[in-house]
């Protein structure tokens, strides 16, 4: 048996803390309180109260999800972790993330596409893939986003050519050590070895033509 021992306003919000003898159980709106008979000294059997608590936690998770996403976009995994950090139980957090995704508040593909488009201005395909993975995007979604973002291979080559010009400025690529350092840097930025070699060849040919 669970007995409601206190119903009090929660900080400067429209929510209320619902407490039992075990302590604070969950937050609820006045509408939720009225619908579920959560007045002080109300009694519930354990099963009924658990259903009420789970529903309240889900509503709280949805509310917090929308608040979080109104400030900044996140992947499903990132949003889930943030909800757990805000003391939303794991089951409620998962259900809340599912709800906001179904309602269009959150979309992994949309989020990943925006990240990839920004990152592609500075990094190659491999590095962009790693960035998306680090943000909790699923592998299948990453492949779809990468294929779409880098569908124009010429764009990636142009980005690399521009980056190489900036990186190699004032450096002697006839020095093997210098060339290796530049090659290693471009590799870390996610460009493939064949693409880097081709870019260096174009760069060297371009310099020769200006001499």
DSSP 6-56: EEEE-TTSSEEEEEETTEEEEEEEHHHHHHHT--TT-EE-HHHHHHHHHHH
What is each CA distance from 197 to 33, 42, 126, 141, in whole angstroms?
A: 67, 75, 16, 29
Specify the DSSP element, H or E, that contains 2: strand 2-9
Tens place of pLDDT for every residue, the chain, 211 residues?
999 999 999 998 899 999 999 999 999 999 999 999 999 999 999 999 999 999 999 999 999 999 999 999 999 999 999 999 999 999 999 999 999 999 999 999 999 999 999 998 888 889 999 999 999 999 999 999 999 888 865 577 888 888 888 888 878 888 888 888 898 989 988 888 888 988 888 888 876 554 3
- Measured CA to CA, the distance from residue 158 to residue 199 in angstroms comes to 9
Residue 66 · residue 105 · CB < 8 Å:
yes
pLDDT of the residue at 165: 87
pLDDT tens track for 75-126: 999 999 999 999 999 999 999 999 999 999 999 999 999 999 999 888 888 9
Residue 146 · residue 116 · CB < 8 Å:
yes
């Amino acid at each position: 048996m669970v007995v409601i021992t206190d119903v009090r306003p929660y900080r400067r919000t429209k929510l209320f803390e619902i407490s039992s003898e075990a302590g604070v159980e969950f937050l609820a709106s006045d509408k939720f309180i009225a619908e579920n008979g959560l007045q002080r000294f109300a009694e519930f059997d354990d099963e009924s109260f658990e259903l009420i608590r789970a529903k309240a936690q889900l509503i709280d998770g949805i509310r917090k999800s929308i608040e979080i996403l109104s400030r900044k976009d996140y992947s499903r995994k990132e949003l889930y972790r943030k909800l757990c950090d805000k003391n939303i139980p794991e089951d409620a957090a998962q259900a809340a993330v599912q709800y906001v995704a179904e309602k269009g508040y959150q979309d992994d593909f949309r989020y990943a596409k925006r990240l990839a488009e920004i990152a592609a201005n500075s990094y190659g395909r491999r590095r962009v893939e790693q960035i998306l993975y680090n943000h909790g995007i699923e592998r299948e979604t990453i492949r779809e986003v990468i294929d779409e973002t880098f569908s124009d291979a010429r764009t990636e080559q142009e980005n690399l050519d521009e980056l190489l010009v900036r990186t190699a400025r004032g450096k002697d690529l006839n020095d093997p050590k210098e060339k290796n350092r530049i090659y290693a840097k471009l590799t870390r930025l996610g460009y493939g070895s064949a693409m880097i070699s081709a870019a260096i060849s174009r760069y060297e040919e371009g310099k020769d033509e200006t001499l």
